[in-house]
Amino acid sequence: MPAVRATMERFTLLTPGSRVEEKVSSIAWHYRQVGREFGRLQARELRIALSRELRDVPIDIIEGKRVLEVRPRGASKAAVVQRLLSHEPPPSVILALGDDRTDEEMFTALPPTGISVHVGAAVSLAMHRLRDPAATRAFLSALIV
């Protein structure tokens, strides 16, 4: 992942408003604060650069809502759901919330007892929907009161 981070940092310097986020098992390049067209062009160029530099490395390059994420092949939110379900006893319910393409994988991996919630107006496989992050915070606050 150091090579991924270095390439993303290079693009961040060339793309004011973008930023790199290092997660537990992936690295993401966010361009939400970049002009729409310039951000798209830079994301396309970054994807090409990463594909060339890492062609022999087992990674996935995932495009989301104004984000490009690189993760080891097989690492996904769906894999986390499967790992949770393999515990004995498995959880009686899993609540999954998300607003992006990678969350759709998670929603499809949920068992019938799972509760999927999409945040935002985009098309989703989730069973339920919340309008925005503020509504999500209110929902989660109501759960723990």
Return the minimum-mean-pLDDT range out of 82-86, 116-120, 136-140: 82-86
DSSP of 68-96: EEEEETT--HHHHHHHHHTSSSPPS--EE
- Domain map (residue ranges) of the chain: 2-72, 77-144
Stated pTM of the model: 0.70
Give the DSSP H/E element, type plus range, for residue 119: strand 115-119
Return the minimum-mean-pLDDT range out of 45-54, 74-83, 93-102, 129-138: 74-83
Give the integer Cα–Cα distance in Å for 88 and 21: 33
Superfamily of domain 2-72: Trehalose-6-phosphate phosphatase related protein; domain 2 (3.30.70.1020)
**pLDDT of 95:** 94
pLDDT tens profile 74-85: 788 888 899 889
The overall average pLDDT reported for the chain is 92
